[in-house]
A and B are shown apart, each in its own frame.
Chain A
Amino acid sequence: MDHSQSIAANRLPPDVLARNFSDAHPPLTAAQAVIEADRCYFCYDAPCIEACPTGINIPGFIKKISSGNVSGSARTILESNIFGGSCARVCPTEILCEDKCVRNTQEDRPLQIGALQRHATDWQMQKMKQPFARAPLTGKRVAVIGAGPAGLSCAHRLAVHGYDVTVFDARPKAGGLNEYGVAAYKLADEFAQKEVDFVMSIGGITIEADMKLGRDMTLASLKAEFDAVFLGIGHAGVRALGITGEHLDGVRNAVDFIEELRSSPTKSDVAVGRRVVVIGGGNTAIDAAVQAKRLGAEEVTLVYRRAADNMSATTVEQEWAQTNNVTLRYWSAPVRIDGDGGKISSITFARGLLKDGRPVYELGEYTLAADMLLKAVGQLFLPDPLVDDEILIEDGRIKVDAEGRTTMRGVYAGGDCTAGEDLTVAAVRDGRNAAEAINADLMMVGN
């Protein structure tokens, strides 16, 4: 271990790294699952269902755990959400289903819906078998761009309906943000790849890796070859801070740091600073900060422009960072990054407050010494590969109707490249719904 370097890999022994990046929230035991499932009131018109973007019949699947019908439980989940396994792990349930559990009102302790969902979907995935079969083949083919949750959810539903689907992805591995963009301890043990395999096991889905829209193919060529095209191309861009010093060594995009971590089997080759500052307020900021700490950074400070309430990372996520010894500083806007010999040495922030309903930064400045800065101030949809096409981009995202149709006939879109919450579960819903729209539209054409 080399402690002299300001940024270095291998700061912790391999066994500590392995522990730090293993499953952060281990699964419920069978006994725990049944005890927890028995707490469900089996509400009618349950508020939790409404709070789930994919509309999983939550009381239905929980009741089946309680009765010992785990197979039926998994099917109930997966027929609404084929990514039920990863959603069980990465969903901010505290602001979705669990937030709406009626037990909150009664006793301030909701059902552990996410953990129960994991229990049932894990059971199914261990069988290495899908509970679904394909309809008779339609003979039609659909291209899906992007092998993330939106694209694969779309591909799966289309495969179920009897379509053959080719999924193109710019990266070497399928999975999208599940594979590259989420903290390792949330989807431990190669879960993202296992889930991709599980989704693919329906049959009829082919993945073409290292194929980038605009570079290796165009929308026009795909339209000519396929009966329909679904765009699940996510965010390709990252917002900059727009301050001086961003070019200095040691300044990185948090998404790149997370991707490097996810691509490393042992984490021992991922370099991290001794004093790390993360700027941002979302889950990417939290994931970057906690993982930097768990890689062996001595001090990690997460700095956000506004108050805790304004962060898109939930309270649970913020507390997770705090229990991981990350210091959270609010109401601080980055002003400049200073360097020494081409390397970052410190970041200066302006202190702010809310004044007449607007944030103003007039309470003076402070400086944090840092040898690594991870920027997590937002990701952007980059419309570049689509500029020549007649697809309307609105407010920086592809415009779609309620079923996922773009303004170009035969082209559909969903997930982070369209408007709405940037959540895995929302992307899964978008892909699924677009598949239903594609099926409906192509059936109509067929007639």
Chain B
Amino acid sequence: MADLSINIAGICSPNPFWLASAPPTDKEYNVRRALEAGWGGVVWKTLGEDPPVVNVSSRYGATRYNGQRMAGLNNIELITDRPLAVNLAEIKAVKKDYPDRAIIVSIMVPCVEESWKRILPLVEETGADGIELNFGCPHGMSERNMGSAVGQVPEYVEMVTRWCKQYTRMPVIVKLTPNITNILNPARAALRGGADAVSLINTIQSVVGVDLDAMAPMPVVGGLGTHGGYCGPAVKPIALRMLGEIARTPDTSVLPISGIGGISNWRDAAEFLVMGATSLQVCTAAMHYGFRIVEDMIDGLSHWMDEKGFETIADVTGRAIPNFVNWNQLNLKFKTLAAIDQDSCIKCGLCHIACEDTSHQAISKSLLNNERHYEVIEEECVGCNLCAHVCPVDDCITMVPQPFDGVQTWTEHPNNPMRKLPAEAG
């Protein structure tokens, strides 16, 4: 049985699954339900200075795709709208009752040293295990020069991180915004400021959809809409890439990572772990189905680790990083060819039309014994995988690696005007 417990920057939890700072962790009632359901920890929804913010009514917009609800979720809710003292008292009560769980407190106060100096001891007094600096909220708070307005300026990230390290003994996790060009810049700033870990990604600035009757972005608040922060399954690919970037870059690779972004099941969790995460934060999936989803996350991850022979989360973290390279390191001599299993083919023709219209005309369509028949034209197939992706039948189209002779990357390729021949390179 795999050991799922983790220690990230000195914060321990019995499993890597935390609820992210968001509506599910806004108050004691929800958090207790989450911890009872088995979550390893929570990042308490962001605390700010009194008087608390005011939230609007109608706060979420969502992407539906072919009947799938909440493929992506967009929110325009701000940080906690409850008084600081109420939150602090609840955090203290919860931590006392759940000493084995990770209770991290998300904080966002103005970019002024005094503000941070004032709030940190109050949070520390609750017995919380650590703090997460909310440098990511991309809507509302950023208009007030907080959240992503800080996260987008590496100098501010470094400065505030340094203040926090100075005024508290608690581990400091810096939450990074993806609304930047290069994730390494704020990650390095956090590192310079003394961050114990980073968490990413926060939500992506987005307009999730437009109400065509109201002629306003969704969600519509009294006839108007504003941009929000996008999260959920749709953002997972963006998150994985940013995580991997930090994990594979030598100077930032020392930063422990708490992975966030569309994690919905154990398989997503495993992908985030192998791309460098140690702890995992979940929000949208819980908001969709409730806290009970953690049961299969724990169970599925545990079974998968047993199957693969991984004993601890540390064995898993970063496993895929050595294989995450720049494009110019890929072997141009490697080739796969699509192969259609005729026995499982249901004759939908989707592989043919996708290849014919939008790719390489490498799947022929004919009648064989009066039945539709689709066949790969190997001479034309470039192994792009499109057919395998559009095929509705699992494992009907597989990509078969072909024998190849040696390795040639773009760096050495004759078509590359900048190529370095091995001799010159030396």
Contact = CB atoms under 8 A, between A and B. Distances in A.
Interface of A: 34-35, 38, 41-47, 66, 102-103, 105-106
Nearest to A100: B347
Contact of B372 (A47, A66, A103): A47
A43 B365 contact: no
Contacts of A42: 350
Given A47-B372, A106-B393, A38 B67 contact: yes
Given A34-B67, A35-B67, A45 B349 contact: yes
B372 A45 contact: yes
B365 A102 contact: no
Given A41-B350, A47-B372, 15 more contacts: A38-B67, A41-B348, A43-B349, A44-B349, A44-B352, A44-B353, A45-B349, A45-B365, A45-B372, A47-B347, A102-B346, A103-B346, A105-B347, A106-B346, A106-B392
B66 interface: yes
Interface in B347-390: 347-350, 352-353, 365, 372
Q: Determine which residue in A34, A42, A46, A106 has the highest number of CB atoms from chain B within 10 A of its CB, and name it.
A: A106
Contacts of A106: 346, 392-393
Contacts of A103: 346
B66 A44 contact: no
Nearest to A107: B346
Nearest to B66: A38
A44 B372 CA distance: 11
A42 B348 CA distance: 8
A38 B66 CA distance: 6
Contacts of B67: 34-35, 38, 66
A257 to B, nearest CB: 41
A372 B372 CA distance: 49
Contacts of B372: 45, 47
A35 B346 CA distance: 21
Contacts of A34: 67
A66 B372 CA distance: 26
The 8 closest A-B pairs by CB, nearest first: A44-B349, A44-B353, A38-B67, A102-B346, A43-B348, A105-B346, A102-B348, A45-B349
Nearest to B352: A44
A45 B352 CA distance: 10
A43 B346 CA distance: 10
B261 to A, nearest CB: 26
Contacts, number: 37
Query: On chain B, which size bracket covers the interface?
Result: 10 to 19
A361 B393 CA distance: 49
A46 B393 contact: no
Contacts of B350: 41-44
Contacts of A41: 348, 350, 392
Contact of A102 (B66, B347, B352, B353): B347
Nearest to A101: B346
Contacts of A35: 67
A339 to B, nearest CB: 52
Nearest to B354: A44
Contacts of B392: 41, 106
B338 to A, nearest CB: 16
A296 B86 CA distance: 72
A42 B67 CA distance: 15
29 contacts: A34-B67, A35-B67, A38-B66, A38-B67, A41-B348, A41-B392, A42-B350, A43-B347, A43-B348, A43-B349, A43-B350, A44-B348, A44-B350, A45-B353, A45-B365, A45-B372, A46-B348, A47-B347, A47-B372, A66-B66, A66-B67, A102-B346, A102-B348, A103-B346, A105-B346, A105-B347, A106-B346, A106-B392, A106-B393
Nearest to A45: B349
Q: Which of B67, B346, B348, B365 has the most CB of A within 10 A?
A: B348
Nearest to B371: A47
A46 B346 CA distance: 11
B119 to A, nearest CB: 48
A47 to B, nearest CB: 6
Contacts of A105: 346-347
Contacts of A102: 346-348
A195 B392 CA distance: 38
Interface in B197-243: none
A45 B367 CA distance: 12
Contacts of B349: 43-46
A66 B67 CA distance: 9
Contacts of B353: 44-45
Contacts of B352: 44-45
Nearest to A34: B67
A103 B353 CA distance: 18
A35 B393 CA distance: 20
A47 B371 CA distance: 10
A230 B350 CA distance: 41
A102 B391 CA distance: 12
Contacts of A43: 347-350
A179 to B, nearest CB: 38
